[in-house]
Amino acid sequence: MTTITDPPQGSFKLSMLLNDTRYRSYTFQFIALVLLIGAIAYLISNLFANLAAAGLNISYAFLGEPAGYDINQRLIEYDSQSTHWRATLVGVLNTLLVAFLACVTATILGVIAGVLRLSNNWLISKLMSFYVEAFRNVPVLIWILMINAVFLVVLPQPRAFRGDNPEATMLFDMFAFTGRGVYFPAPIFSNSLTGSAGTDWLLVIIGLVLSFFGVRQVAKWAQAKQEATGVRPNTLWINLAIWFGPLLVLFTIMGLSFDYPELKGFNFQGGGWARGSLIALWFALSVYTGAFIAENVRAGIQAISKGQTEAAASLGLRPGRIMNLVILPQALRVIIPPLISQYLNITKNSSLAIAVGYMDITATLGGITLNQTGRAIEAVLLLMLFYLIISLTISAVMNVYNNSVKLKER
């Protein structure tokens, strides 16, 4: 009974392409490939026909032409004579700026709300549920527009700060919250090392990164010492020195001082200025995404079984150490992947800046540049490419992280 019948040899029939599992997958793939190539060829031929009919071509030369529009919220030098490429760069930086700010505040808000939602305090946990439900179930666009309206309508105009008995006053004589935006003291370097403010700040960032690695080295050293002797050395002062020492030295050499905003005429002069739309967008994205992050944090903490807390307590750990050494490392494994995809969502939702007039890349490249030059295909392609690069980078980071925290099983 162990006869194995060989599959019939040499008698290939055309029907086997569809009925024989050995060939069927090739048939399907072939059909799919032909359909795909056909569809792409059809679309491209349409594209060329349409372009020819409209007398257009595909060219990125417009990026080198002067943009001719102004962007008042910018991180790098830009004026209306700059090129469209420069305008795009300003937009990219503005997108990254608001996304970064919103990621930081949304995380803080989300962690607080998520932890408080699990609190024993009935009132605060209900309040946090209300916050989460209210923000999760209403479109982010409505929140952005509403919060922008708050900034436009509720905050005073700069002229309210005028006169001997003004309706509004500056906070600590440093910050002015107006309907046009927030004015704040701007740091300036009187003794620039590199010649331009941008590279000076780059120097500061490099210093911070070096400090970060220094602190990690100290932690490694402390760990080694603890394993050898059983006593963990106190690293607080060393860490503080590593964080702030180089910064202080850098700032002293470069002569850091602050430029305060002052009311001159009808508006504030000097200092830094964040447009109302930037603040509104930042705030709206933070509270909206904060609600989602709160849910992720809550799920992460609830995913750790109560037995872990009890086991740690029976080992004699104090409550603070239970949280730090047992619960958080396990909860973070659950929390961080959805957290990173929320960061991705913030970056993508920041494209709604166009609704409140904040000049991010969607508003510069996909908005004014597109409308002025009529280069719809090129502009939209470039726009998509930018967002794709960002999200693929973030996904790559997430994969690296997931692999590093994956449960190491035998």
Nearer to other proteins among residue 136 and residue 162 (C-beta)? 136
Query: Where does residue 59 rank: exposed (0-12), middle (13-18), buried (19+ CB within 10 A)?
Result: exposed
Residue 43 beta carbon to other proteins: minimum distance, rounded to whole angstroms: 5
Nearer to other proteins among residue 303 and residue 380 (C-beta)? 380
Residue 405 beta carbon to other proteins: minimum distance, rounded to whole angstroms: 19
Residue 150 beta carbon to other proteins: minimum distance, rounded to whole angstroms: 8
Residue pair 256/197 in contact by the 8 Å Cβ criterion = no
Nearer to other proteins among residue 37 and residue 202 (C-beta)? 37
Please give the single-letter amino acid code of residue 161. Answer: F
* Separation in Å, CA 265 to CA 151, 158, 163, 182, 246: 22, 9, 11, 17, 40
Residue 97 beta carbon to other proteins: minimum distance, rounded to whole angstroms: 17
Phi, psi of 135 (to 5 degrees): -85, -30
Nearer to other proteins among residue 2 and residue 25 (C-beta)? 25
CA geometry: angle at 341 spanning 338 and 343, to 5°? 115
Residue 15 beta carbon to other proteins: minimum distance, rounded to whole angstroms: 11
Q: How far is CA 356 from the centre of its chain?
A: 19
Residue 42 beta carbon to other proteins: minimum distance, rounded to whole angstroms: 9
Nearer to other proteins among residue 72 and residue 119 (C-beta)? 119
Binding residues vs other proteins (CB under 8 A): 18-19, 25, 28-29, 32-33, 36, 43, 46-47, 49-51, 53, 116, 119-124, 127, 133-134, 136-143, 145-146, 149, 153, 348-349, 351-352, 354-355, 362, 366, 370, 376-377, 380, 383-384, 387-388, 391-392
CA geometry: angle at 388 spanning 385 and 394, to 5°? 145
The alpha carbons of the chain give a radius of gyration, in whole angstroms, of 29
**What is the crossing angle of helices 276-303 and 84-117, to 10°?**
40
Nearer to other proteins among residue 331 and residue 361 (C-beta)? 361
